[in-house]
Amino acid sequence: MSREALIVNRHTLANGLRIVHSPDTTTAMVGVNVLYDVGSRDERRSLTGMAHLFEHLMFGGSANIPDYDKELEYAGGKSNAWTSCDFTNFYLSIPAQNVETAFHLESDRMLSLAFSEHSLEVQRGVVVEEFKQQCLDRPYGKLMHSLRRAVYSPEYPYSWPTIGIEPGHIERVTMDDVRRWFYAHYAPNNAILSVTGNISLGRVVELAEKWFGDIPRRDIVPRVLPSPGFPSADVYVEARDRVPSTMLVVAVPMSAYGTEAYFAADAVTDLLSAGRASRFDAHVVHGRGRGLISSADASIIGSEHEGMLLIMSRLLKDGDADIAAAREILLDECRLLARPGEITEREWQRSLNNFESTFRFSNAGYMSRATNLAQAEYHGEDVNRTVADRRALSAEAVAYHAGRLFDETPSVTLAYRPE
């Protein structure tokens, strides 16, 4: 696992397309990642799931290429994509000698989709079926719907999951909706092209100019968000579903990406639940919560705007008193982090080392590096500063923000219980 700085090159086309490149001559492959600055936060409550639907539509044929997957597979490549609240990310890998095919495919669907009624019908069906499988037919599948609804105000777009509020929204999407969404968000001046692997910067720029250079800039719809509407006092909600045991979730509102408070919250979750030496494992599951709490985890749903720090646990008992007791055990362990000197030097260094190893391993492969570089460019960050910036965060700062989170911020508790 090398600690050498990654070579990172940047270039911007006249139409606004930002390019980031990192070479890797140890592979015969090239990774291409295209990140569009559009996600479910750009939806309105009356028509949710559009960003995720579009992730699928982008594979349904473009202006000059009827079958994206077929052309890519002929060239020995493979691809995938994912959607978040904030952006939509497409990535592919391909043999270096066939890399021009990747530029051709990605540029053509950035230029224009085919806007085929057949493709829309097919992808609507795929997304609706995905909604049913993930949310309706899976245990705890509607948990995030219940949680987001309780944490955020109804009109705030983070108050629904990326997959949308209900399948009916996707079922009524029209071709006019598709055209509006595409031309409002999919454009070179709203995208980042990240290229890694066995390819030089000169070749990347040459191919980008050839295939993307003539795509016109577009007017991107301004993004205007209301207040997140976090609760002003603690909230307790229940949901009942066909689940095997109670899932207890405590959601604490947290700061937006890029702030010290955001990275401190991320560090807090590492201290609480990362690895067998974590506090939750040692002090809760095998300590005070033995016989009541079977598992406990902490994570953040980080985003470009205010997000959530989540504490999630599976309970062995379902009584009202059991749920209340489990909540206090979990929060008591969280509040300990705010005590002066509670985070030991050894514990803090272990957390930092874990962060560094995870980060460096994630950049070892050319494909994951392409994704990481695209997101770093999106945030205006230098990936070669990521570890140093995290190590510059002190245990004292983490303790301070833990106090803000668990002693001063109203939280939402969701008990997701068996029917």
Transcribe 206-230 into DSSP letters.
Answer: HHHHHHHTTSPP--PPPP-------
pLDDT in tens, 226-260: 999 999 999 999 999 999 999 999 999 999 999 99
Task: Quick: pLDDT tens for 253-272.
Answer: 999 999 999 999 999 999 99
Quick check: is 223 in a domain? Answer: no
pLDDT at 397: 97
8 A C-beta contact, residue 139 and residue 314: no
Partners of 240 in the beta sheet? Answer: 417
CA dist 102 and 96 (Å) reads: 10
Half-sphere exposure of residue 75: CA atoms within 13 angstroms, side-chain side: 24
Residues 6+ apart with CB under 8 A from 225: 41, 156, 157, 305
Task: Give the residue ranges of DSSP H helices in 112-244.
Answer: 117-131, 143-151, 167-171, 175-185, 201-212
Strand partners, 310: 251, 299
170, 247: one domain: no
Q: Domain of 24: which CATH number?
A: 3.30.830.10
- Look at residue 165 in the predicted model and tell me its pLDDT: 97
Residue 217 lies in a domain: no
Instruction: Tell me the per-residue pLDDT of 366-408, one tens digit each, with 9 for 90 and over.
Output: 999 999 999 999 999 999 999 999 999 999 999 999 999 999 9
Over residues 11-38, the pLDDT tens digits come to: 999 999 999 999 999 999 999 999 999 9
Residues 159, 239: one domain? Answer: no
The confidence score (pLDDT) of residue 1 equals 46
Percent of the chain with pLDDT strictly greater than 70: 99
pLDDT mean across residues, the chain: 96
Residue 123 CB neighbour total at 10 angstroms:
22
> What's the pLDDT score for residue 275?
85
Mean pLDDT of the region 143-171: 97
**Is residue 294 domain-shared with residue 389, that is, in the same domain?**
yes
Calpha distance 407→230 (Å, rounded): 16
- Give me the pLDDT at residue 354, please: 94
pLDDT, tens digit, 9 for 90 and up, residues 32-91? 999 999 999 999 999 999 999 999 999 999 999 999 999 999 999 999 999 999 999 999
My answer on whether 204 and 273 are in the same domain is no
Residue 114 and residue 246 in one domain: no
Is residue 149 scored above 90 in pLDDT? yes
Instruction: Flag whether pLDDT at 139 surpasses 90.
Output: yes
- Residue 104's domain comprises 9-212
- Would 350 be classed as within a structural domain? yes
Q: Are residues 274 and 184 in the same domain?
A: no
| Mean pLDDT computed over 114-129 | 96
For the record, the structure tokens of 358 come out as: 């995870």
Position 401 scores a pLDDT of 98
- Residue 79 pLDDT: 97
Residue 413 in contact with residue 237, Cβ under 8 Å? yes
- φ, ψ of residue 276 to 5 degrees: the values are -70, -20
**Upper half-sphere CA count for residue 313 (Cβ side, 13 Å):** 32
Q: How confident is the model at residue 2 (pLDDT cuts 50, 70, 90)?
A: low
Mean pLDDT of 317-337: 97
Same domain as 174, residue 35? yes
